[in-house]
Each structure stands twice: as structure tokens, then as C-alpha cells.
Amino acid sequence: MKSLSVLRAGVSEIPANPLSVSEHPHGLPTFCSIDELLNLYQGDDHIYLIYPEKIRKAARLFLNGFHGRSLYAVKSNPHPSVIALLWEAGIRQFDVASLREVEFMATHYPEAELYLMHPVKSRGLIARAYGLGVRNFVFDCEEELIKIRDCTREAPDLNLFLRLSVPKGAAALPLAGKFGAEFETAVPLLKQARPLCARLGVSFHVGSQCMTPESYDKAISFAAGAVNEAGVNLDAIDVGGGFPVCYPGMDMPLLTVFFDVIHKSLITHGFGHCDWLAEPGRALCAEGGSTLARVELRKGNDLYLNDGVFGSLFDAGHFRWNYPLTLHRNRPPSPMDMLNGFRLFGPTCDSMDVMEGPYHLPADTAEGDWIEFAHLGAYGFSMATGFNGFCSNTFVAIED
Ligand SMILES: Cc1ncc(COP(=O)(O)O)c(C=O)c1O
């Protein structure tokens, strides 16, 4: 079992219960249902739920469906239980960005292959990562390329990826503008990097929650243009993350359609001989996690919760993101059980801690009820701060 102390932190508020003793590799207290959990829970914090089978299913989808290596983007949910489940399911490559992510992975999963895909790294991070066995590094400008060379003492065994700035796609959360080489700089950078590395690749990110497979096709076509213009031999192409999850109100093709379009495009554009990589974060862990938040007060159509924008509900506040919602209450549902649109407030004293919604819940929702925000396994826990002392490290697994 990995990192017991991290896994155990925060679960002390779950009373010992023979049913919840966990022998699972994820190491979490395990319950058959949310109601069983809530009957025992005596803590004050919101609760993170992990659905191990959903995480395994997402991993299988990528491992069987994408014809290349699927690197889990650790940033999307770095909790040890999530990483343990993905490892158990067969994910062996990881996209890491920071010293903490590198050290955690290198310490607990020494056999994992790490890809340091942050285009701007500190010198200390590069040197430490190389010392810990990392050989895959990304760069998007000459300065970073030289930095990587300097900090690895011109190591002959580097696998370097040039991050490209690709045409704007159809992502709900575009990532354009911060990183990536434009065509004019990409061409000389590819030529410059080729003799400096053992293997040369290109990478890009079409934006998170990308709604159309054509965005990948366009990005691959752009990458082919740069590589052909540079006239270099390429060893690898990394199509990044961005694979979408079916949140309420968002329609997109199945992931298998994305894979088909990507595979076809890679072949058509002359990347058939290369290693293929992808860096899914959201699509590997979103559906396998939920946040369970308690209603602390109701004022008309406003509900005050014990989690909010400074916790795991950042996207709900900032982008009015919607999630499948389920109410759990310790009383029978009202006979009518009509739905009502609510505005939600988080627990901190900050007036920005608001989620306008409207979020539709049973009209008789009241203090003490718990709301499950599903599909929040990605960019929920990982975005949470401890602002005002409101946070949670209580993770449990729900296994049917
Ligand atoms: C370099 C890189 N790779 C992968 C990801 C994961 O993206 P997603 O969660 O949209 O799949 C991100 C997200 O920001 C990223 O910056």
C-alpha cells in the first residue's frame, strides 16, 4: 500500500466499522453506499468519494482504445488512492509538472515512466528530476532547451518534446496563450534540438474538455507542417490531454470516436512510424470521484454548503460548471419531490465564494442534507485550498 500516512490523514472521523475495513490497494475506508457512510460520519468537512470501478473502467478505455501510451496527468487528481487505482489498472506513464509530483511518483512508483511536461521548469526541478531517473522533458523555446541541457550536464539520453502552440480548438477550457511555440519558432527549434537529444518529439494541448475530435486532427496537421518544414526525423508525438467528460448540458462524441479520429489523422499526416502518446487527466478520473457537501443553512433559494469555490467547486463558481447532483437526506422525500433552482454559497467569508447555478435540487432541501456533486474526480480536490480553514482530506471509496 502506498503512502499510508497520506491516505490515513483525515479519515479518523470515520468510526471503525467492520464493513469499512479496507484491504483494497487504494487503501481507503470502503462503503457499500453513501447512506451507509453518512450514518457513520461524524465529521464537519465535506467528503471526497472515490468509485474505484469507474476509475478502472476509464483506465481500460484508454489502455485498450488509444493505440499509444496513455500518460496520466497527475495534476488532475494527485490523491494517492487515485494513483494507486490507475497503477493497479495498468497505467505506467505519468505526466508530472512539479517537484512534489516528481518526488511523490519517483518515491512510491519507482518503475513508473515520468514525463516532465511543464514548459517552464526551475533549474532545481530539472536537475532533481534527472537525478531521479526522468528522461522525458518538454520545452517551447530556446532558453528552456538550453536550461534543460545545462541542468542535465548535456546528458546524451534525453527525450525532448517541443510543445507547439496549436490552432484554437473547441475546448470548454482553452489553454492557449501561455505555452507553446508558434510555427515560425517551432521550425528552427526542432532543427536545433534534433542533435541534442536521443529522441525528439512534439506535443500540444488542444485545451481541456475539448468537445470535438476535429480539434485534434487540426493540431496534428499543424504539427506535421512544422515537422516537414524542419525536415527532421521525429520519434514521438504526444497529443496531450483535453479528452472530455459528459457533464450535464455538454454533448460530445464518445471517446472511442476521438481515438479513431486521432489514429487516422496520425497515420494520414505521416506520424505512423512514431511513438504515440496522450496525456489524459480529466477523462481518467472525473467520473470516478464526487464531492459530498452538506447544507449548513438554507435562506430562501440560497443554500450555504461546507464546500465551495475555494474548495473543490472552483469550476462551479468560475465557469458555472454543472454536475450530476443527488440529494441525500435523513428523512423521507416529500411526496411531491419537485425540483427547485438554488444558488449555492461556499463556507468561507469571501463573497466570491458563490456558485450562481441555478442548481436543481428537490424543493424541500434543508439544513443537514448532503449533496453529491458527481463527475468531480478531476480538478476538484486538486484545486482546493485551505482558505479560512475550510478543507477536507476525508476520502472514502464506494464499492457496490
Ligand atoms: C501539459 C498538460 N497535459 C495534460 C493535461 C491534462 O488535461 P486534461 O485534464 O484536460 O486531460 C494538462 C492540463 O492542464 C496539461 O497542462
- CB-based contact 92:113 (threshold 8 Å): yes
Of 240, 263, 285, the position where a domain reaches its end is 285
- Phi/psi at 290 (nearest 5 deg)? -135, 160
> What pLDDT sits at residue 94?
98
CA dist., res. 126 & res. 152, Å (int): 7
What average pLDDT does this structure show over 51-62? 98
- CB-based contact 194:233 (threshold 8 Å): yes
- Report whether pLDDT(2) > 90: no
- Report whether pLDDT(187) > 60: yes
203 in the same domain as 65: yes
111 half-sphere exposure, CB direction, 13 A CA radius: 5
CA of 279 to the centre of ligand 1 (A): 6
181 in the same domain as 165: yes
- CB-based contact 239:287 (threshold 8 Å): no
pLDDT digits (tens, 9 = 90+) for 126-167: 999 999 999 999 999 999 999 999 999 999 999 999 999 998
Question: Which is more confident, 21 or 173?
Answer: 173
Of 285, 309, 334, the position where a domain reaches its end is 285
- Report whether pLDDT(14) > 50: no
113 in the same domain as 68: yes
76 in the same domain as 89: yes
- Of residues 97, 81, 169, 156, the one with CA closest to residue 129: 97
137 in the same domain as 30: no
- Report whether pLDDT(15) > 50: no
146 in the same domain as 92: yes
CA dist., res. 268 & res. 169, Å (int): 20
pLDDT digits (tens, 9 = 90+) for 208-233: 999 999 999 999 999 999 999 999 99
- For 388, left (φ over 0), alpha (ψ -120 to 50), or beta? left
CA of 35 to the centre of ligand 1 (A): 34
361 in the same domain as 234: no
- The CATH number of residue 371's host domain is 2.40.37.10
Instruction: Name the 3-class secondary structure at 138.
Output: strand
Residue 392 CB–ligand 1 contact under 6 Å: no
> What pLDDT sits at residue 9?
40
What average pLDDT does this structure show over 278-302? 98
- The CATH number of residue 121's host domain is 3.20.20.10
CB neighbour list of residue 354: distance below 8 Å, 6 or more residues apart: 308, 309, 317, 343, 344, 345, 346
175 in the same domain as 96: yes
CA of 150 to the centre of ligand 1 (A): 27
**Cell representation of residue 131:** 537525478
Q: Which helix (H) or strand (E) holds 258?
A: helix 255-268
- CB-based contact 65:43 (threshold 8 Å): no
189 in the same domain as 168: yes
Mutate to test the pocket of ligand 1, among 279, 282, 321, 376 (most ligand atoms within 8 A of CB): 279
Write the residue with the smallest CA distance to atom 5 of ligand 1: 241
> What pLDDT sits at residue 3?
34
What average pLDDT does this structure show over 335-351? 93
340 in the same domain as 258: no
- CB-based contact 46:395 (threshold 8 Å): no
- Report whether pLDDT(21) > 50: no
CA of 87 to the centre of ligand 1 (A): 18
Q: How many domains does the chain have?
A: 2
Domain range spanning residue 45?
Answer: 4-51+288-398
Count of beta carbons in the 10 Å neighbourhood of residue 14: 20
What's the distance, CA 54 to chain centroid? Answer: 14
312 in the same domain as 266: no
- CB-based contact 35:398 (threshold 8 Å): no
252 in the same domain as 306: no
Of 263, 285, 307, the position where a domain reaches its end is 285
- CB-based contact 143:155 (threshold 8 Å): no
CA dist., res. 200 & res. 29, Å (int): 44
pLDDT digits (tens, 9 = 90+) for 256-273: 999 999 999 999 999 999
What average pLDDT does this structure show over 103-120? 97
Prior bond of 188 cis (ω within 30°): no
Report the predicted TM-score, pTM, of the whole model to 2 decimal places: 0.93
Q: DSSP letter for 286, please.
A: S
- Report whether pLDDT(340) > 90: yes
- Report whether pLDDT(18) > 90: no
- Phi/psi at 134 (nearest 5 deg)? -75, 135
